[in-house]
């Protein structure tokens, strides 16, 4: 798998049971993600990394509740509970995740005025993280994406990767979803339409 890279998205404490923004059963993927990490020569991690008072937090908008929406300069934004605040335990990788093999850790969501679901772009869809250039310069054209959550950061990362010309697969059994107002169905339909392969881990860890 020398021309392939595994991208592990946001397997952090705040997205797992006991965290501030729980993705149901998010911790259950850790053993499988570790097996995939072992199988790949090249591994990239992403880490949600918000400053306190981030604009995507419901607490930053008077009268707004978590999971409501507001309009930002770049479009509609879901407002979240405070989560993955820089330097806090909630922002750390989930215990047991073998993340030390990662050749690169992309931190996203650190700009106070804009959220970032994708590993490749901020939510304005134009400000890059630099990951696309990094992968292309290293000749890593086939991407396998796993992590949290299927219908937000995983899907947005996969869609952007496909838009940039990468060959992309999402390993569904190594992901978990929030499924907010039908977001999982939307994400799966969008990924299929973009040419993203929706796969399971059987072949990859055989």
Residues annotated as part of the active site? 10, 108, 153
Q: What DSSP element (H or E) covers 168? A: strand 167-176
User: 5 - beta bridge partners?
Assistant: 143
Contact 74, 125 (CB under 8 A): yes
Task: For residue 150, give both structure tokens.
Answer: 């299927």
Contact 153, 9 (CB under 8 A): yes
Residue reference for tokens 């106070």 = 112
DSSP notation for 19-67: SSS--TTGGGGHHHHHHHHHH-S-EEEEEE-BPTT-TTBGGGSTTPPTT
Contact 40, 175 (CB under 8 A): no
Instruction: Compute CA distances 46 → 74, 93, 124, whole Å.
Output: 22, 10, 18
104 contact partners, CB below 8 Å, separation of at least 6: 44, 45, 131, 134
């Amino acid at each position: 798998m020398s021309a392939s890279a595994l991208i592990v998205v946001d397997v952090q404490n705040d997205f797992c049971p006991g965290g501030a923004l729980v993705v149901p059963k998010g911790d259950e993927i850790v053993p499988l993600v570790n097996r995939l990490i072992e199988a790949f020569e090249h591994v990239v991690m992403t880490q949600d990394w918000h400053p306190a008072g981030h604009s995507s937090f419901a607490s930053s908008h008077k009268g707004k509740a978590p999971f409501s929406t507001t309009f930002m300069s770049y479009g509609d934004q879901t407002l979240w509970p405070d989560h993955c605040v820089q330097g806090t335990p909630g922002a750390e990788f989930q215990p047991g995740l073998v993340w030390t093999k990662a050749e690169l850790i992309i931190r996203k969501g650190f700009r106070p005025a804009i959220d970032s679901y994708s590993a490749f772009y901020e939510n304005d869809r134009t400000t890059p993280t630099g990951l696309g250039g990094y992968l292309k310069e290293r000749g890593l054209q086939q991407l396998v994406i796993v992590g949290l959550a299927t219908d937000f950061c995983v899907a947005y990362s996969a869609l952007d990767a496909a838009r940039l010309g990468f060959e992309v697969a999402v390993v569904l059994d190594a992901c978990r979803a929030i499924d907010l107002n039908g977001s999982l169905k939307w994400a799966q339909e969008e990924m299929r339409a973009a040419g993203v392969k929706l796969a399971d881990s059987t072949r990859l860890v055989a």
